Amino acid sequence: MKEKKPFWDKEENIGFVSVEAWDGLIYKVWNEGSPQTIQKVADILAKVRYDINRLLIYLCKNKDKWEDHPIAFGIYHTFDIHTPHSDENTFYSDNAMNLINRNSGNDLFNYQEMTPNDDGILGLNKPKKLTEIIVNFNNKKINYEIATKRSIFLTIRPKLSSHGDPNYIEPYNKILDLAIHELTHTTCNDTRWKSDNHKHPYPIYHKMMRQFAKYCNVIK
């Protein structure tokens, strides 16, 4: 008998369609609403990717703002997960956006629409391919669990599946705020579901990530 998935581990394939967005990449969109709306959702997810990459490029170019803070390990980990196979030459390139996506290859970070649910989950940063690495902590070597791959699910249309109008789309600033919220879970290296995944250091890291996003005009 197949083991039942935990409630937070939402479906990411059944019920979705794969749609090419304006950036030439494919995004999973819940198959409900008009064709025009489904295309618009994919294009919004592409804009989220673009804006999050803008934030990561800013962080790479401005290490003096965070490298001496405990968040540094988390930001380097975020680079590894969200911009795999890219180095500083990539971030400083005039063609950085396209290079980040091209360099990622099969490890391209996934953004998709949130699965409709009645659990109140608006966004999800789903850790995948868990492994352990050895790190130095307080002059001791310890085993440290990380997710080597992740997917971020974002609520774009809050009224899907009998909750109202499936063509209603949230304001973009609200969607982007949610994306930065979920991005911070990568920075915190949250690998296991906890009843409260927003305890220390999450509030500090989230505040810093939002501030960095303001510095580079990703958010106002």
Mean pLDDT of the chain: 92
Residue 182: what pLDDT? 97
Distance CA 111, CA 153 (A): 6
Distance CA 141, CA 133 (A): 10
Is the pLDDT at 1 greater than 70, yes or no?
Answer: no
The pair of structure tokens assigned to 115 is 């699965």
- 144 forms beta bridges with 133
Residue 129's φ and ψ, nearest 5 degrees, are 50, 60
Q: Tell if the pTM clears 0.85, that is, is over it.
A: yes
Residue ranges per structural domain of the chain: 16-215
Residues with Cβ within 8 Å of 177's Cβ and at least 6 positions away in sequence, in order, are 219
pLDDT in tens, 181-220: 999 999 999 988 777 778 899 999 999 999 999 999 999 8
Lowest mean pLDDT among 23-32, 85-94, 190-199: 190-199
pLDDT in tens, 150-159: 999 999 999 8
CA-only gyration radius of the chain, Å: 18
